[in-house]
Amino acid sequence: MRLIYSLGILLYGSILRLIAPFHTKARLWTEGRKDWYLHMSQTVETGQKHIWFHFASLGEFEQGRAVLEEIKKKYSDKKIIITFYSPSGYEIRKNTNLADYVFYLPEDTAENAKRFTDLIHPEFVVFTKYEYWYYYFQELAQRQIPLLMISAIFRPEQIFFQPYGGFFRKILECVSYFFVQNEESLHLLKENGFRNVGITGDTRFDRVIQLPLQKKEIPEVAQFVADHPVLIAGSSWPDDEILLHDLAGQYSEWKMIIAPHEIHDKHIQSIQELFPAALRFSGFSAYSPEVIRSAQVLIIDNIGMLSSLYGYGNVAYIGGGFGAGIHNTLEAATYGIPVIFGPKYHKFQEAKDLIECGAGFSISGTAELQTVFAEFQQLEKRVFAGEEARKYVRQRAGATAVIMKYLICKKLL
């Protein structure tokens, strides 16, 4: 199985290198790892120990951010290295002030794991939610370097828990401690012989409860919104935008702000084809006051504003539920507004919880979206759902404090 795993890693990297000239993300992935050892060895201070945080992508960075911030605030003398697997995380956070160095994670091979670990001398390592790399984990275990999984979540259908999953369970055996999000994850691990596990919840709650306090005022959005009710569509994809188009025609008194997951020209153009009269944020200064007043839709064609945009909304629509899975619902919920999303939400504990407490609403098409939205025309129902969302977020904060206590008790800090 190890041979098959290694061949899979090799094949995946080879495919990305092959398509890199024609695919932006593949090009960033490959170029970011080119001559990685030379680049890192010339950058990292020789002989210095580091705390190593790894994130699959941007969402996982935001998930682990509260722990990063706490360590940076209380232990400013510690050196921190962040690695990302995905370009969508690295390219956006490569200049974060929460780390001394930010790199792409080299491919998971025995040689790469050894050279990388030799180079950075980790005191301890934190992985967030998922990503389990055989050679890196084995290298850390052999060196007895503590490895923590925070905000981890497991499901019965994962390969770790299948009869043929022995090789992958060996990867889990390298983890020093699992801080899991829910009871199901706890029971799955314990049923498979793991006792180094405890429920802390999701560290994202500690991050998102701060967002309303840190909200950036956006004058252009305030002018566009004026005194209208507002739907904020966050991280939308084409399937989501088609539904929003159908909805907009039914509720002309509502303003709609669409912040798509991808902002390349082709995607923005497709949104403009659905909403010909829509304004673009990048060109806002060119619009007259009359045009701004009459416009129903504003397209956000940049990155980094979404967590503040939700503060202008009365209802949020979270994209991705008709694709691989929904995006971040908590950034909207923390502002005390109800959240709507597509049918692919079952991998996300917070989405299931929001539905259960009456703050989240899953829809499978236009008819269901319009039914849910019709309910929100009643102010009391909208306010009730929003308050339940806010309460849910506040009640689940605190995972970071538990993790920090563990690090201190184990004398890792």
Residue ranges in 129-176 assigned as alpha helix (H): 134-142, 166-172
User: What is the separation of C-alpha 204 from the centre of its chain, rounded to a whole number of angstroms?
Assistant: 9
φ, ψ (nearest 5 deg) of residue 156: -60, -30
Query: Taking the chain, what is the end-to-end CA distance rounded to the nearest angstrom?
Result: 37
Same fold, 43-200+397-412 and 215-394: yes
Q: Is 60 a catalytic residue?
A: yes
Q: For residues 122 and 100, is the Cβ–Cβ distance under 8 A?
A: no
Q: pLDDT, tens digit, for every residue of 175-227?
A: 999 999 999 999 999 999 999 999 999 999 999 999 999 999 999 999 999 99
What is the reported pTM? 0.86
Q: For residues 153 and 129, is the Cβ–Cβ distance under 8 A?
A: yes
Q: For residues 244 and 340, is the Cβ–Cβ distance under 8 A?
A: no
Q: Is 214 exposed, middle or buried (0-12, 13-18, 19+ CB in 10 A)?
A: exposed
Query: Hey, is 159 helix, strand or coil?
Result: helix
Q: Amino acid letter at 359?
A: A
pLDDT in tens, the chain (413 residues): 999 999 999 999 999 999 999 999 999 999 999 999 999 999 999 889 999 999 999 989 999 999 999 999 999 999 999 999 999 899 999 999 999 999 999 999 999 999 999 999 999 999 999 899 999 999 999 999 999 999 999 999 999 999 999 999 999 999 999 999 999 999 999 999 999 999 999 999 999 999 999 999 999 999 999 999 999 999 999 999 999 998 998 999 999 999 999 999 999 999 999 999 999 999 999 999 999 999 999 999 998 899 999 999 999 999 999 998 999 999 999 999 999 999 999 988 899 999 999 999 999 999 999 999 999 999 999 999 999 999 999 999 999 999 999 999 999 99
Q: What is the pLDDT of residue 59?
A: 87
- Here the tokens at position 75 are 């232990």
Does 3.90.1150.10 match the CATH number of domain 215-394?
A: no
Distance set, CA 203 to CA 127, 154, 322 (Å) = 12, 16, 26
**Most distant pair of Cα atoms in the chain: their distance:** 67
The set of residues, in sequence order, having a beta carbon less than 8 Å from that of 139 and lying 6+ positions away, is 110, 113, 114, 117
Domain ranges of the chain: 43-200+397-412, 215-394
Q: How far apart are CA 47 and CA 406, in angstroms?
A: 26
Q: What is the pLDDT of residue 368?
A: 96
Q: Amino acid letter at 90?
A: Y
Q: Is 258 exposed, middle or buried (0-12, 13-18, 19+ CB in 10 A)?
A: buried
Q: What is the four-CA torsion angle of 234, 238, 239, 244, rounded to 10 degrees?
A: 60
Angle, nearest 10°, between helix axes 238-250 and 265-274? Answer: 20
For domain 43-200+397-412, give the fold: Rossmann fold (3.40.50)
The one catalytic residue in 45, 60, 183, 191 is: 60
Q: What is the pLDDT of residue 47?
A: 87
Query: Hey, is 126 helix, strand or coil?
Result: strand
Q: For residues 218 and 308, is the Cβ–Cβ distance under 8 A?
A: yes
Q: What is the pLDDT of residue 304?
A: 85
Q: For residues 296 and 255, is the Cβ–Cβ distance under 8 A?
A: yes
Q: For residues 114 and 139, is the Cβ–Cβ distance under 8 A?
A: yes
Q: How far apart are CA 335 and CA 324, in angstroms?
A: 25
Say which residue the tokens 């497991």 belong to.
Answer: 154
Q: What is the pLDDT of residue 152?
A: 96
- Here the tokens at position 369 are 């979206």
